[in-house]
Amino acid sequence: MAVIMLGPPGAGKGTQARMMAEALQLPHISTGDMLREALKNQTELGKKAKEYMDAGDLVPDELVDAIIAERLTREDCSRGFILDGYPRNISQARFLQSLFDKSGTRILSIGVKVDDGVLIKRLSSRWTCPKCNKMFNANLDPTKIGGKCDECGTALIQRKDDSAEVIAERLHVYYTLTRPLIQLYQEQGSYVEVDGNRPVEDVFNSIMEKVTNYE
Ligand code: AMP
């Protein structure tokens, strides 16, 4: 089964996807993480993606579709996987469906709903580990050792696209291009929703309940 995390930037998709991946022993596949890695390594993909990412806009479909198609062929995806940040628009959802039609993969999409005010606060106080991609919140979830990742000790950074201006664009992109996916998956009967305004553990418990009860 493919679990698809849906929700605006800052909803906690990455954190929840990581926790789920650990609990279910499935790979966590984040297009944002893959693109940031490509950017860091200055690959061709990274160079092409940079201007879009810096502006908070979507990277062209053909680039992300290609990285997803390749990633899903790997052995670790054979039991299922958790998609975080993909699909991001209707065209990507159609592309993904064409892959799943071939492999017979079923979808469970999980929408994490969070109020706009909470999102902006979370994103602007978010710190990220550039090595293991774990996220921390300066207000809600401070690190044990100031400014360092609890898991690997790497110095945390603030993502360039977590600046106020880029956050506004990312939210706009979400509402115009990504949110329509909710209706698409609702019509397919593969959509469930959780309230993401609550503490991380409570959201996680709700998600696991939905995953376990999904027929
Ligand atoms: P994220 O970490 O998911 O918030 O993604 C960070 C940035 O990477 C986004 O603002 C986009 O520029 C780009 N990105 C990530 N996933 C996709 C996708 N599925 N389609 C297009 N661009 C993406």
Task: Give this prediction's pTM.
Answer: 0.91
Catalytic, 159? Answer yes
Q: What are φ and ψ of residue 107, in 5° steps?
A: -110, 140
For 22-43, write each residue's pLDDT tens digit: 999 999 999 999 999 999 999 9
Q: Which of 121, 159, 179, 210 is catalytic?
A: 159
Catalytic, 170? Answer yes
For 44-78, write each residue's pLDDT tens digit: 999 999 999 999 999 999 999 999 999 999 999 99
d(CA 3, CA 106): 9
| Six token digits for residue 159 | 């993502």
Catalytic, 13? Answer yes
Catalytic, 88? Answer yes
Q: Which of 36, 88, 122, 134 is catalytic?
A: 88
CA 173 / ligand 1 centre spacing (Å): 10
Q: Which of 13, 18, 122, 134 is catalytic?
A: 13
Which regions of the chain does DSSP assign to beta strands (E)? 2-6, 28-30, 81-84, 107-113, 126-128, 135-137, 191-195
Task: Pick one of 1.10.3230.20, 3.20.20.150, 3.40.50.300, 1.25.40.10 as the CATH number of 2-114+177-214.
Answer: 3.40.50.300
**Using CA atoms in the order 134, 139, 140, 142, what is the torsion angle rounded to 10 degrees?**
50
Residues of the chain with pLDDT under 50: none
